[in-house]
Structure 1
Amino acid sequence: MNKSLLILFTFLLSAGYAVAQNKVTGIVKRSDGAPVPRATVAIRGTSKAVSADDNGAFTIETTLEPPFYIQVSSIGYKPQDFQILAIQTTPLELTLVESGLLDEIVVTSRRRSEVLQEVPIPISVVGGSQIDQAGAFNVNRVKELIPSVQLYTSNPRNTGINIRGIGSPFGLTNDGLDPGVGFYVDGVYYARPAAATLDFIDIERIEVLRGPQGTLFGKNTSSGAINITTRKPSFTPEASFETSFGKYGYIQAKASISGPLSKQFAARVSFSGTQRNGLVDNVATGRATNDINNLGGRAQLLYRPSDRLSILLAGDVSDQKPDGYAQVVAGVVKTNRAAYRQFDAIISDPIFNRDGKPYTLPSLNPFDRKIDHDTPWRSGNQLGGASLNADIKLGPGTLTSTTAYRYWNWDPSNDRDFTGLPVLAKSQNPAKHKNWSQEVRYAGQLSEKLSGVIGLYYIDQEVKITGTEESGSAQARFAKSSTGANANTPGVSNDDLWATPGLLEGYGIYTNASIKSQSAAAFASVDWEFAKGLHILPGVRVNYDNK
């Protein structure tokens, strides 16, 4: 009996000990000592939370033993964690930092590190966390976040980026013209607009400069510049992995790992993959087209022997193989042509009958998202490159050298008649682009009121195009431009001639072209704050172009 009572007493004592509560009291204050009313105080890792009173005072109980963390948050303040090392009888004083006093945003859009609020040019900045939260995985999505940026694209090659409505005309790309908006990633110029369709990998921030920036950048910024900065290797081990899911089989995975290799070397490896089912049904093949199938990776090696020297070797590759980009028919209108040349009359010609019925488009409502294209859609888009960047601190500024090689391979297949009839059997303009560039610049805060940048830039580019536009068996009926008797062929009418088997089939345009260009520039820009808040920004640029 005594043994049973002892066991029961021991059990009750243990149970009582297990539910013992530790009480934490304190006051939440601002940096100036004023209380923060109604702040939320929570025990990290639990669901326990309380609200402070109007004087910022709170009491919260927990079964946890020190050390543990409490989280304090309030609107207008930065959420903060405080470690509790011991339970004390006197109230804690916890200070929150106002959002307006958070770390200032540092940008490098003017080729030197500056506080965003002190940069006297029109600039917009989007941070990496905002990009991730918005689900923006390429520039085509970022345009929704940044004012005055427009991106028009029917496929990676036919892509144009505009800022304030100026930059590149939308339409078929002219491979001999460079874009008016400079696209830079970690100081490396991406020469082709197709680069704008690549998936973001480990983005730290995106800066958009509006207006001409030719005295700041080495190449093509007459309309503005998009300056993307990625996360660099860290000497503190870190890793991240995230996945996103959505409709139509959308799935995206991102992974990154970084850390030291030695006291002077650090590395970072990042990966991104995006996949989504097609949004347009091809009733002829039974497959959905306009899908997403992207893979990309980036690797960086940082050598930092001292605070005054850092060398970064980086390489990236992106492989996109979507089944796209098909376009739906939004409607058919009548023209001033003769009746036999109207679209409806052409496709209802008995020569196109199927199972004894006239051919018809699968839908004239674009929202049905239905096509019957007979030529496969393919939009192979491979791009990548490598760069070597060295930063050397000299005097009040930094001397930077950036050497880069970039390539872009475009492998398309299109159905440019947008019907299930073999009008255009082939329509494709594969292109291969490669370039290498070198930039040397010196930039920095030269004095309290004077900062600037001076640099030299050179780029050598080559684009090779092997295009094919080839007619199919239905081309003759669509091209038919005469009817009735033909005076030159008695007994054989124009209709008979246009119905000649194989007429125009296989005929087309075959292109084998290349464009080589060299471009060099010397540029300089100075920012002189001659009075508080008043700046003079003189700049100069000299160009050399040979194509």
Structure 2
Amino acid sequence: MTRVMKSVLLAGAAWSAASTMVMAQDVAPAQEQATALDEIVVTARRRDEQLKDVPIAVSALSSERLEQTGAADITALQQQTPNATVQVARGSNSTLISFIRGIGQQDPLWGFEPGVGLYIDDVYVARPQGAVLDIFDVERIEVLRGPQGTLYGRNTIGGAIKYVTRRLGNEPDFIARGTLGSYNQRDFMIAGDVPLSDQLSIGGAFASYDRDGYGENLNTGEDQYDRDVTAFRASAEWTPSDRLFFRLAHDRVEDDSNPRHGHREVNSTTGGFTPPASVYDTNAGIQGEQNVVTEGTSFTAEYVVNDLLTLKSISAWRSGDTATVIDFDQSPLPTLDVPAIYADEQFTQEFQAILNGDRWSGVAGLYWLDGESSGVFDTIAGNLGVAIAAAGYVNTESFSAYADFSFDFTDRLSASVGGRYTRDDKDAGVQRFFYLGATRTPLTGGTARPILQTRTNYTAEDSFEQFTPRVSVSYDLTEELTGYASIGQGFKSGGWDMRGDAFLVPQTVNGYDPETVTAYELGLKGTAFDRRLSFASAVFYSDYEDLQITTQQTATPPATGIASVVDNVGQATIYGFELEGSVLLTDSLTSNFSIGYLKNEFDEFITLVTGTPVDISNVRSPQNSPEWSGYWGVTWAGQLAGGELTITPSLSYRSEFSLFDAPDPVLDQGAYTLVDLSAIWSAPNGRYQVGVFGRNLTDEEYRIGGYNFAGATFNNSISAFYGPPRTWSAQLTFRY
């Protein structure tokens, strides 16, 4: 079945491009179409440019496209963006895990930096908690693949996701939307803006998302995979003159959904616990608070000095607090239970100079980040009769200077040269204590009792600095086609393992070093067949060095413990290609497609877990790196009852991949295809809209995360977390 669906999907995407030659006579004139690539404007390089002129692999999804496909949150990017993984983290409802071209960070623990940068209106979001952003009041989302250090405030080694909210208008605007759906889904969103004068406008948006669980905690009776989220945004924009612009914005998201536990995948060694019939059910026993709150305030100021120079300042503060519980053993027994508390706060300041000459343009900037991330969690190990408390913090002060300039040598030939200097000063504290008794420790609110054994207790500080250049050359082969070649480097600084057990692994106090990537890319973008086909394609090759990999180590008595080791394990070679685009087939039929091929291989994987350096690259496979990914959607638009009806069926495909660097036949995910369908009717006056959305119509069961603590010590605790099942929803929208 999967092989057939893969063939249909990839052949369909190829057919979409080729069919324009056959159906050219049926297509509306090019000037009437509004979806050609050269009409899409993005800010991927911190200045407004047509997408076809940007020498970067960029996927740009407009609010209309996201609405048309029924995208609920940014995890929908995974379906439509080639070679991207954008998922909810294991054991979480709103923590984001992102990989682009095989580079990312699966572990959301404080102290670890993401490999893919997330930006909300140019403000970098340092922590992944609460970062599964719902799609409302959004203008577009851009996904930049490959390192982008010469253009963005924080170094982005794998790529960047830009969440661009809607600017306020000069006319009153109002939208209200209600959604009812499967599992008692009840969503509501209201947004609007009002001009108080010709110069000042205010606006805001509020959204509430409620849904019963896809499954049940068979032990406690609580819903599993439910949703209880509220989100709020407010902004004010002041334009005192044609040269000045100011924007003050605030956002807040609160997630009060139930704890999300995994599904036991194998039988337990004690207690007789077997996998529940439904993959969304669990027998988890731990109970406690589940709450995530993230919020931020930003102030943006722009001053157009003259036609040559624009100055921009972005000041932002963000914070987050998380309380959660995770049952690793998925049973009522306290075999491996983890209550956890996280907190983070950051202040960032960025200054930009955007320049535009007759034959050149560019951006230069200074960036400063002052952030703190901290937390505490218990590992309640019932079979060992102990509770292990881990606590720590990481303070980061980062300074960067970057620039990227483009020069037009001729009307067809241009080049870009950029560079970035980054210096991260970090200090950290790591503590790890054993307490007798398999209950919460005093650090998470448990019974006061003395420390049985101090395993880790140290502070450290270090500085990490790197210069990362980027060079690209673009050439307009014709007025419709642009080719480019680029070389760029990315960098992610080092740190310390917040789970490190210095008793078991003494080298943990030394921390780990930065990782780097050198990426080579060739691309071709443009339109063809009188702009009926718009496309972007790229081939890439990356040398990924000093990879920061977390390896779990467990031990049984008398060396009682469970710990992780973060090593710079070696290097990997990553290469592949991407093709995405849109085909205007007839007056009423449009097809969108994407194909991604990714080959990610370890060249060297040297671990110190055994105490002696050993290269185990022959038994390791990079995580979240499916070899093939694809999307194919067809949108039909026509008249019905005086209004416009659009129907969009779509397929998205991912080939088999590993959830961890150590392949596991129990947890590795096989290839799967998701089938979605949406139908939207808009009233003649444009004020009313009715939509019906079906997602995962074939009810595929697919893993998006997991935990592996096999063996008798931890009751053979192998668990998995799954993507949403088949769902239906109906939506009513009112605009004024």
Q: TM-score, normalised by structure 1?
A: 0.69
How far apart, in 2, do the equivalents of 1:380 and 1:76 lie? Answer: 52
Deviation of 1:131 after TM superposition, in Å, equals 1.4
Matches within 5 A, 1:147-158: 147-152=82-87, 153-154=89-90, 155=92
Match of 2:174, SS? Answer: strand
In structure 1, the gaps of 5 or more residues are: 1-53, 55-73, 79-95, 333-342, 348-358, 480-503
1:409 equivalent in alignment to 2:361: no
**One-letter code aligned to 2:71:** A
Match of 2:114, SS? Answer: coil
| 1:182-207 per-position Cα deviation (integer Å, ceiling 9, x unaligned) | 11111111001224313233110011
**One-letter code aligned to 1:545:** D
How far apart, in 2, do the equivalents of 1:288 and 1:247 lie? Answer: 14
How far apart, in 2, do the equivalents of 1:533 and 1:241 lie? Answer: 47
How far apart, in 2, do the equivalents of 1:100 and 1:233 lie? Answer: 23
**One-letter code aligned to 2:324:** P
How far apart, in 2, do the equivalents of 1:99 and 1:174 lie? Answer: 44
| 1:273-295 per-position Cα deviation (integer Å, ceiling 9, x unaligned) | 11111112222223322201110
1:296 equivalent in structure 2: 231
| 1:79-135 per-position Cα deviation (integer Å, ceiling 9, x unaligned) | xxxxxxxxxxxxxxxxx8244679922211111111222222211100012212322
1:537 equivalent in alignment to 2:537: no
Deviation of 1:450 after TM superposition, in Å, equals 1.0
1:263 equivalent in structure 2: 198
**One-letter code aligned to 1:520:** F
How far apart, in 1, do the equivalents of 2:146 and 2:35 lie? Answer: 29
Deviation of 1:174 after TM superposition, in Å, equals 4.1
Conservation of the 8 A alpha-carbon contact between 1:184 and 1:190: yes
2:297 to 378, 386, 390: 386
**One-letter code aligned to 1:165:** G
1:428 to 325, 331, 339: 339
Deviation of 1:254 after TM superposition, in Å, equals 1.6
1:516 equivalent in structure 2: 395
Q: Out of 290-299 and 534-543, give the one that drifted further.
A: 534-543
**One-letter code aligned to 1:438:** Q
2:369 to 433, 451, 459: 459
Conservation of the 8 A alpha-carbon contact between 2:210 and 2:228: yes
The structure with the largest alpha-carbon Rg is 1
Match of 1:248, SS? Answer: helix
Conservation of the 8 A alpha-carbon contact between 2:130 and 2:294: yes
1:370 equivalent in structure 2: 281
How far apart, in 1, do the equivalents of 2:321 and 2:78 lie? Answer: 25
Say which structure, 1 or 2, has more relative contact order (CA 8 Å, 6+ apart).
Answer: 2
How far apart, in 1, do the equivalents of 2:29 and 2:165 lie? Answer: 27
How far apart, in 2, do the equivalents of 1:101 and 1:121 lie? Answer: 18
| 1:299-342 per-position Cα deviation (integer Å, ceiling 9, x unaligned) | 0001101111100000010001111311111223xxxxxxxxxx
| 1:215-236 per-position Cα deviation (integer Å, ceiling 9, x unaligned) | 1012021211111210012221
Conservation of the 8 A alpha-carbon contact between 2:346 and 2:372: yes
Match of 1:129, SS? Answer: helix
1:526 equivalent in alignment to 2:434: no
1:440 to 328, 341, 351: 351
| 1:388-426 per-position Cα deviation (integer Å, ceiling 9, x unaligned) | 0001112223211000000011110122221122324x4
1:63 equivalent in structure 2: none
**One-letter code aligned to 1:444:** L
Match of 1:540, SS? Answer: strand
Match of 2:179, SS? Answer: strand
**Residues 196 and 393 of structure 1, relative CA distance in 2, 3 Å threshold:** same
Conservation of the 8 A alpha-carbon contact between 1:76 and 1:99: no
2:97 equivalent in structure 1: 160
1:211 equivalent in structure 2: 146
1:273 to 208, 217, 236: 208
How far apart, in 2, do the equivalents of 1:381 and 1:198 lie? Answer: 13
Kindly report the root-mean-square deviation, in angstroms, between the aligned alpha carbons of the 2 structures: 2.3
How far apart, in 2, do the equivalents of 1:185 and 1:158 lie? Answer: 16
| 1:462-488 per-position Cα deviation (integer Å, ceiling 9, x unaligned) | 1121222234xxx23xx5xxxxxxxxx
1:17 equivalent in structure 2: none
How far apart, in 2, do the equivalents of 1:112 and 1:466 lie? Answer: 42
How far apart, in 1, do the equivalents of 2:218 and 2:111 lie? Answer: 38
**Residues 428 and 76 of structure 1, relative CA distance in 2, 3 Å threshold:** farther
Matches within 5 A, 1:171-182: 172-182=107-117
Matches within 5 A, 1:103-122: 104-122=39-57
**One-letter code aligned to 1:531:** T
1:287 to 222, 226, 236: 222
Judging by fraction of residues, say which structure has more strand: 2
Deviation of 1:428 after TM superposition, in Å, equals 1.9
**One-letter code aligned to 1:163:** I
Q: Out of 213-222 and 137-146, give the one that drifted further.
A: 137-146
**One-letter code aligned to 1:277:** D
Conservation of the 8 A alpha-carbon contact between 2:407 and 2:415: yes
How far apart, in 2, do the equivalents of 1:236 and 1:75 lie? Answer: 35
How far apart, in 2, do the equivalents of 1:453 and 1:519 lie? Answer: 20
**Residues 77 and 313 of structure 1, relative CA distance in 2, 3 Å threshold:** farther
How far apart, in 1, do the equivalents of 2:97 and 2:412 lie? Answer: 36
Match of 1:130, SS? Answer: helix
Deviation of 1:268 after TM superposition, in Å, equals 0.9
Deviation of 1:75 after TM superposition, in Å, equals 5.9
2:69 to 110, 130, 134: 134
Matches within 5 A, 1:210-229: 210-229=145-164
How far apart, in 2, do the equivalents of 1:467 and 1:412 lie? Answer: 9
Deviation of 1:157 after TM superposition, in Å, equals 7.9
In structure 2, the gaps of 5 or more residues are: 1-24, 427-736
Conservation of the 8 A alpha-carbon contact between 2:94 and 2:130: no
**One-letter code aligned to 1:205:** R
Conservation of the 8 A alpha-carbon contact between 1:188 and 1:404: yes
1:31 equivalent in structure 2: none
Q: TM-score, normalised by structure 2?
A: 0.52
Deviation of 1:258 after TM superposition, in Å, equals 0.7
How far apart, in 1, do the equivalents of 2:405 and 2:215 lie? Answer: 52
Conservation of the 8 A alpha-carbon contact between 2:304 and 2:311: yes
**Residues 207 and 102 of structure 1, relative CA distance in 2, 3 Å threshold:** closer
Matches within 5 A, 1:483-498: none
Deviation of 1:372 after TM superposition, in Å, equals 2.1
**One-letter code aligned to 2:97:** G
Q: Structure 1 segments of 4 or more deviating over 6 A? A: 100-103
Q: Out of 537-546 and 452-461, give the one that drifted further.
A: 537-546
How far apart, in 2, do the equivalents of 1:360 and 1:454 lie? Answer: 59
Deviation of 1:364 after TM superposition, in Å, equals 4.7
**Residues 135 and 378 of structure 1, relative CA distance in 2, 3 Å threshold:** farther
Conservation of the 8 A alpha-carbon contact between 1:329 and 1:366: no
1:239 equivalent in structure 2: 174
**Residues 77 and 286 of structure 1, relative CA distance in 2, 3 Å threshold:** farther
How far apart, in 1, do the equivalents of 2:294 and 2:241 lie? Answer: 34
1:194 equivalent in alignment to 2:116: no
Match of 1:266, SS? Answer: strand
